[in-house]
Structure formats: C-alpha cells, structure tokens
Amino acid sequence: MTTFRSFGLAAVLLASLAPITGAAAADKPVVAITAIVEHPSLNAIREGVKAGLRDKGYAEGEAITVLYESAQGSPATAAQIAQKFVGEDPAVIVPITTPSSQAVAAATKDIPVVFAAVTDPLGAQLVKTLDKPGGNITGVSDFPPAAGQLDLIKEVLPKAKVVGVVYNSGEVNSLSVIEALRKLAGERGLEILPSPATKSSDVGAAAQNLVGKADAIYIPNDNLVVSALESVLQVGFDSRLPVFASDPDSVGRGAVAALGLDQFEIGRQAGHVAARVLKGEKPGDIPVENSRGVSLVVNTKVAEKMGAPLPPAVLARAKDVAK
C-alpha cells in the first residue's frame, strides 16, 4: 500500500505531530519516496522506482511498504518532508530530483539514500566520487545527451543561430546543463541564451523574453519549468518559436521534439539500486549509475504550428511520432 500525501508547508507542520507509518508498516521494510514537485515525468520516475523494486522481489504491499510525499515545489517543504522521513527511520529513502535529494542528504548521514534523476551529483555535493560515493548516498544520474539535443535542433532548424533556455537559476542541475550546452554550442554555430525564472508564475515571462532573440527554446529537465511547461508552449504557439525538450513526456504536452532519457526507466534503475541496499549493500560502495537509453520523440502537428516542419530523417529515427 502506498501512503500518499501532497504537502503544503502548513500541512507538513501539522502532519509532523503524528507518524505517517501505520501498523501495517511494522512488519515490512519501509521505502520512503519523495519528489520536489509533481508532473508527468517525475510521476513516471516514481512508478519506475516501484517497478524496479518489484523486479527484484520487493513488491509494494507484499514485501515492502512504500511512502510517498511531494514538496509541491517548495524547498522548505522538501526539508520538512526529509526530516519527517528521517524520524520514521525507513530502510531506504529515494528522493527524486536534485532539490529533494539535497534536502534528504542534509537531514541524514545514517539512513541509506538512493537518489533518482539528479543531473550532476558531484555539483550538487551529494557524493564524493561517482565510482565510490562513500557515506550513505548513491543513485542514478540523468545528465541529458546535450550534444545530441543541439544536433537535433540544428537538423530541424538549419538556420538557427540562438537557442534560448528557460531555467530555474536555483536548480543546480539546470546550471550544469547550461554550462555543457555552452561548451558544445560554438562548434555547431549556435549561441545559448539563458532566460531565468525563480517561480512558476515567472516561467511564461522568461519564455516571452526570448521572442525576437532566439530561434528556438530548449527546456532542460528543470522541475520548475517542466511543471509550468504550458506557459512556455503558449509562447511557442503564439510566436511560432519552436520549443524543444529534454524530457520525452513533454512532447505529448506540446513540445516539438525531445531527445531524452526514458523517465520510467530512470526510476526502474533507481529501484534496482534500492533493492541492492535492502539486500544489505552499503550505498557508499555502490557506484552512481548513469541512466540508460536515449529515445527521440516528436510531434508533427506541433512542429507545423510552431513553424518547424520535421525532416524525413528525423521522423525515420523517432521512437514515437505524435500527430
């Protein structure tokens, strides 16, 4: 049985007065999962974690009890959830995204932690090294195929010179991706133009700031921006400014294309690692894994509406073609 709560900060404070585990959890190991916010990609990762655990004999409700809480976009709430989970002393905590992982890392040095979807674990100061993390933390990184993503934009838009990036300046993972894009852009005749947003209500304005300056918008795996993706897409439709994503799930929501990692499989990998911890391995001895499997997903209808018809070669490579 999954225990599920989506907490605002006040709700977390109230909920902290009572334990979240029930009597049913007493005879089963508890796996506590948390994410900074909810959107389709992170939900897919969460389901992947449970599938990965099930693959290894840890079916939810049978061999383990699974708890889940969302911080609803608030770092302060993420810290409250982390402290709450630590008080429950689960067998392993699985934080999804960099902000949630940093909150859990700050809350415990003893309880095993297996992160999922952390783009730059070293930059986020979660582990000492990728090969031998040390301490109580390991997990699965989701650094995107940045070179391939820029190549895709250039293939669809050969005349493109400037790629705008809408991102949250408070997310370490997005800063790492922008740095990587900048290093790769010059040799492709591209310039990277970042446009920051610090809260959901600013995301549309950040996209609007790129109109007339950029030839395309790129959305990294930025939790704030992906959760407010529709406001970016509206700018793309209104201004015929093609929007590309790092997250394949965003194509179904209205992006032109994405060359990205399968979010469910990222979660499954993390679930497999969590199962190793449940079997007795120390997280610090388990190398951080890179997420596996890159797929191209495109949306032909959106591409036409945003003024970026897809070349036959791109369509031929696509794993999924939405129309």
pLDDT in tens, 229-251: 999 999 999 999 999 999 888 99
Task: Report domain extents, the chain.
Answer: 2-142+263-293, 146-261+295-322
Amino acid at 117: A
Average pLDDT, the chain: 91
CATH number belonging to domain 146-261+295-322: 3.40.50.2300
pLDDT score recorded for residue 321: 86
Q: Tell me the pLDDT tens digit for each residue of 78-126.
A: 999 999 999 999 999 999 999 999 999 999 999 999 999 999 999 999 9
C-alpha closest to that of 256 among 221, 311, 308, 204? 308
Q: Which DSSP helix (H) or strand (E) runs through 88?
A: helix 75-88
Whether pTM > 0.85 for this model: the answer is no
Domains 2-142+263-293 and 146-261+295-322 share a fold: yes
3-class DSSP string for 247-258: CCHHHHHCCCEE
Residue 40 binned pLDDT confidence (cut-offs 50, 70, 90): confident
Whole-angstrom Cα distance, residue 94 to residue 76? 18
**Rounded CA separation 23/68 (Å):** 17
- The CATH superfamily label for domain 2-142+263-293 reads Response regulator (3.40.50.2300)
Q: Give the three-class secondary structure for 82.
A: helix
CA distance 64 to 44: 20
pLDDT band (50, 70, 90) for residue 17: very low
Q: Residue 50 above 90 pLDDT?
A: yes
Our measurement of the distance from residue 3's CA atom to the centroid of its chain's CA atoms, rounded to an integer in Å, reads 22
